[in-house]
Amino acid sequence: MTNSAPRKKHTRTRLFILDDEVITVQRLVQALSKDGYTVEGFVSGQAALQQVQENQPDLIIMDIRLNDADGIDLMQRMKVAAPEMEVVLMTGYAAIGQAVEATKKGAFDYLEKPIQLQKLRTIISDALSLADQKLQKSLIDQGIRSMDRFGEIIGASASMLSIFKVITQVAPLDCSVLLQGESGTGKELIARALHTNSSRKNKPFVSFNCGSFTDELFANELFGHEKGAFTGAVSTKLGLLEAANGGTMFLDEIGEMPPAMQVKLLRVLQERNFMRVGSTTAVAIDVRFIAATNRILERMITAQEFRQDLYYRLNVVKIELPPLRQRLEDLPLLVEHFVNKSSVRFNKTVRRVSKDVIKELEQYSFPGNVRELENIIERAVALCPGKTLRLADLPPDILCLKSIRVDPQPTALPGIKELEMDHISKVYQETGFNQTETARRLGISRTTLWRRLRECTSKKS
């Protein structure tokens, strides 16, 4: 296809109708034209096929039983003639089995006659949304291909494509890498990609959270200890550094590392060896270091909270991960990815996402980035009763949080209600949108919480 415009305007969306009953064709052409589509009707299969080839419509709605052609056969020819076009079949009761068969052969869906317009409209909009996604996909084929090597990292925005490029270049170099980005932007995912694309890929990848230990425990975890090093050290324990030997050590939340430990880590990076707690013998190690932080380390250096020399050692290459709200182009792909993932996980059959879901999500600012999106989709899929994820499946809170954040600058100090809502939404986010946990932390009943969330949602609409 030569047309490179990724999204068509509604009015430029072209629909074909094919049925050998003139009356049905007329009725549908009329109704769908009113909806704003460009619609063309056909009563002959052969004529339709020719026009499909010439005009490449976005979608065809066709009867499965035609006088001059076998419906399924014709449909397949049409798919060959216009691979991007979606097909919706109309069928009488007698041909339902055939219609089901046809959906396995490439039809998007089928509708039983007599056609209910409302149902048809929904199917059309879902089919177009799928077509849109397919088109986007083909446009970013390049991105997807490069993605294969990076496991599950999804992205086709300019910023993600340039990150893929950097990963390709830097992964085999064996140098330290510093990953900087808000929480949930995919730092750990990228650290793993750097590892699996390096010569160390068959050796361990060990993750260490620098913020979760006191000084003492920190050294113990990282360096291990000798038997008898302290009371309770009944046997020699290997530290994570030794466990990572030959592989990659991921130092997560490096900005949270206590100053005393920064010195110790610096020593390891300089000397490439360390001593177990209680030992005087140095153990040599061959480890690649990848560090991650959601803080601005440069600022911490100025504030003397982070050692500049350590920063230089870690920051041989820096990869900055943009927050999700700055690369919303990736949203449809990410949503699709997580829908599939959750669908498999929960053994559900949700396969499509209606367009307004994406539109709604595009309004949201995702303070928790991709992780938050993943949570939202996971819950929506769990609740979704059908095959298509709809707006109604999204948690009410996302609509709610959006209305709070999008608020233009407050002119005066906020009122009690606003403060309350603001606080509720913060706690709600912190608990990963768990209503029971939120209610518990706030000391209110679930019903009260639910009512507050509803109030806020209805205020929005």
CB of 162 to ligand ADP, least distance (A): 13
Asked if 371 is part of the footprint of ligand ADP (rule: CB under 6 A), the reply reads yes
Pick the stretch among 55-63, 111-119, 183-191, 270-278 that binds ligand ADP (CB under 6 A).
Answer: 183-191
Q: Which partner, ligand ADP, Mg ion, none, binds residue 221 by CB below 5 to 8 Å per kind?
A: none
Asked if 183 is part of the footprint of ligand ADP (rule: CB under 6 A), the reply reads yes
Choosing from 57, 181, 255, 332, the residue that interacts with ligand ADP (CB under 6 A) is 181
> Cis omega (within 30 of 0) on the bond before 332?
no
Question: Who's near 339: CB < 8 A, 6+ residues apart?
Answer: 350, 351, 353, 377, 381, 389
Q: Which helix (H) or strand (E) holds 428?
A: helix 416-430
Instruction: Give the pair of three-digit tokens for residue 209.
Output: 């959270």
Question: Who's near 15: CB < 8 A, 6+ residues apart?
Answer: 32, 37, 38, 39, 40, 57, 58, 59, 60, 61, 124
Q: Which residue is nearest to ligand ADP (CB)?
A: 186
Pick the stretch among 93-101, 182-190, 302-310, 346-354 that binds ligand ADP (CB under 6 A).
Answer: 182-190
Q: Between residue 148 and residue 167, which ones bind ligand ADP under the rule CB under 6 A?
A: 152-155
Q: Which helix (H) or strand (E) holds 222?
A: helix 215-223
Q: Which partner, ligand ADP, Mg ion, none, binds residue 266 by CB below 5 to 8 Å per kind?
A: none
Residues in contact with Mg ion by CB under 5 A are 188
Asked if 185 is part of the footprint of ligand ADP (rule: CB under 6 A), the reply reads yes
Instruction: Give the pair of three-digit tokens for residue 10.
Output: 């509604």
Asked if 189 is part of the footprint of ligand ADP (rule: CB under 6 A), the reply reads yes
Largest CA distance in the chain: 93
Asked if 188 is part of the footprint of ligand ADP (rule: CB under 6 A), the reply reads yes
Asked if 186 is part of the footprint of ligand ADP (rule: CB under 6 A), the reply reads yes
Choosing from 109, 374, 378, 393, the residue that interacts with ligand ADP (CB under 6 A) is 374
Strand ranges for 128-232 from DSSP E: 177-181, 205-209, 224-225
- Closest CB to ligand ADP among 28 and 167? 167
Instruction: Give the pair of three-digit tokens for residue 262.
Output: 């920064």
Q: How far apart are CA 176 and CA 270, in angstroms?
A: 12
Over 51-98, what HEC string results? Answer: HHHHHCCCEEEEECECCCCEHHHHHHHHHHHCCCCEEEEEECHHHHHH
- Closest CB to ligand ADP among 153 and 265? 153
Q: Which partner, Mg ion, ligand ADP, none, binds residue 152 by CB below 5 to 8 Å per kind?
A: ligand ADP
CB of 382 to ligand ADP, least distance (A): 16
Q: Which residue is nearest to Mg ion (CB)?
A: 188
Write out the residues near ligand ADP by the rule CB under 6 A: 152-155, 181, 183-189, 292, 337, 370-371, 374
